[in-house]
């Protein structure tokens, strides 16, 4: 082994609270035994060789802050033609290990690169979506802020008595965020895309469900959560958007919640029922850059320590959890559209969380 380790770190995908704290933890642990280099703009910087040795002053400034602005982040799939440039960067900067902080697409990048280089490739699970097999950091903070905003909107609705707030919730294909916020903030209604898919519900059936809820609730105000993944469950709600380099649909750019309620309104009109005025909003971007909660600070410290241990024990192609380093190989699946990728984990409809949510649903729907 060289006298001093040289580790590169990058942030990738959407920001998640605690990313800076993973970097600060690695920086602290490497003090005296190595150097930490920041790679700018995720895989883009790795390809371009945009790397700088991190200074204590900047790390200290950012360590407890949300956002990914210390290094910036991008969504970039590593293609076979990018490998020579990445190898050049690894050689030029003499990296012994690279730490990829990101979600499922970043883990796929990390896995593929680990097959091409002897430089150790370690992945730290990040995403507010919470859709990895290993718990990701950032979810707790994002859900705390979103739940607070939902609670505020409930109070707004109750105070003024004139709007039903319809909120589209981030989370991509999965509804973990919607479910968690439904448990924490108790909106009057929350849809879960996984349930819609499992029950093979059609647009008409979902419209029926919402309309019956509004009629039975019989109030001009309330709060409803719609997961952004609903447009994957109900194709009529989707819009044509560009795919990102990993093949992801731009669910956050779609007004699926607005479209859904246009259908509700139309049906109500046909039935001669007057729906309450709706107010539409979305939650996600503001929450994924919130300063981390104590939970996420503690968790990112543990993940940083695990990443450091993985480097010392010469692991590569691994995703760290609180307990250990897992081979990314065990999470790889063949996706019909996106190829050989790290699997996304959906809400478990037989799990305790979902069952608790279902039990409490009626009480939340009709009481304030």
**Which residues form the interface with ligand FBP (CB under 6 A)?**
13-14, 16, 103, 127-129, 170-172, 228, 251-252, 284, 288
CB-nearer residue toward ligand FBP: 251 or 347: 251
- Cβ atoms 295, 140 nearer than 8 A: yes
Q: What is the largest CA-CA distance in the chain?
A: 78
**Residue whose beta carbon is closest to ligand FBP:** 13
- Cβ atoms 39, 9 nearer than 8 A: yes
The residue whose two tokens read 């009529």 is 236
Active-site residue identified among 105, 129, 140, 173? 129
CB-nearer residue toward ligand FBP: 29 or 122: 122
The pairing of strands 97-102 and 120-125 is parallel
- Cβ atoms 31, 1 nearer than 8 A: no
Closest approach of Cβ 50 to ligand FBP, in Å?
20
Q: How far is CA 253 from the centre of its chain?
A: 15
Closest approach of Cβ 228 to ligand FBP, in Å?
6
Helix/strand/coil (H/E/C) assignment for every residue in 330-365? HHEEEECCCEEEECCCCCCCCCHHHHHHHHHHHHHH
Closest approach of Cβ 324 to ligand FBP, in Å?
22
CA distance linking residue 282 with residue 225, whole number of Å: 9
CB-nearer residue toward ligand FBP: 252 or 327: 252
CA distance linking residue 312 with residue 325, whole number of Å: 12
CB-nearer residue toward ligand FBP: 9 or 251: 251
Closest approach of Cβ 318 to ligand FBP, in Å?
19
CA distances from 110 to 7, 70, 90, 121 (A): 15, 21, 14, 6
Closest approach of Cβ 344 to ligand FBP, in Å?
9
Q: Would you call 129 a catalytic residue per the annotation?
A: yes
Question: How many other CB atoms are there within 10 angstroms of residue 235's CB atom?
Answer: 8
CB-nearer residue toward ligand FBP: 128 or 206: 128
Q: Just list the catalytic residues.
A: 129
């Amino acid at each position: 082994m060289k006298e001093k380790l040289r580790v590169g770190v990058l942030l990738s995908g959407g920001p998640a609270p605690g990313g800076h704290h993973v970097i600060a933890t690695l920086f602290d642990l490497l003090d005296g035994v190595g150097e930490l280099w920041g790679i700018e703009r995720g895989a883009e910087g790795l390809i371009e060789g945009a790397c700088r040795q991190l200074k204590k002053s900047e790390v200290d400034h950012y360590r407890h802050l949300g956002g990914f602005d210390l290094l910036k982040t991008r969504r970039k799939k590593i293609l076979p033609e990018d490998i020579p440039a990445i190898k050049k960067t690894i050689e030029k900067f003499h990296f012994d290990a690279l730490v990829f902080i990101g979600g499922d697409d970043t883990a796929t990048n990390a896995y593929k690169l680990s097959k091409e280089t002897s430089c150790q490739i370690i992945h730290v699970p990040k995403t507010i979506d919470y859709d990895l097999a290993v718990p990701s950091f950032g979810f707790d903070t994002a859900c705390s802020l979103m739940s607070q905003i939902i609670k505020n909107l409930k109070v707004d609705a109750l105070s003024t008595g004139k709007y039903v707030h319809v909120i589209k919730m981030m989370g991509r294909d999965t509804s973990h965020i919607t479910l968690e916020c439904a448990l924490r903030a108790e909106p009057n209604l929350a849809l879960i895309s996984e349930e819609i898919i499992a029950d093979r519900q059609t647009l008409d059936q979902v419209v029926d469900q919402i309309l019956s809820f509004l009629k039975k609730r019989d109030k001009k105000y309330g709060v409803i959560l719609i997961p952004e993944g609903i447009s994957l469950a109900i194709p009529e709600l989707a819009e044509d958007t560009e795919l990102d380099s990993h093949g992801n649909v731009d669910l956050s750019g779609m007004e699926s919640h607005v479209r859904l309620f246009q259908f509700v309104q139309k049906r109500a009109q046909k039935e001669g029922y007057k729906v309450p005025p709706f107010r539409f909003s979305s939650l996600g971007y503001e929450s994924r850059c919130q300063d981390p909660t104590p939970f996420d600070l503690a968790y990112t410290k543990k993940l940083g320590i695990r990443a450091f241990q993985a480097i010392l024990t010469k692991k590569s192609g691994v995703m760290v959890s609180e307990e250990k380093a897992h081979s990314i190989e065990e999470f790889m699946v063949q996706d019909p559209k996106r190829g050989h990728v790290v699997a996304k984990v959906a809400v478990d409809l037989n799990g305790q969380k979902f069952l608790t949510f279902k039990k409490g649903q009626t009480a939340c729907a009709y009481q304030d």
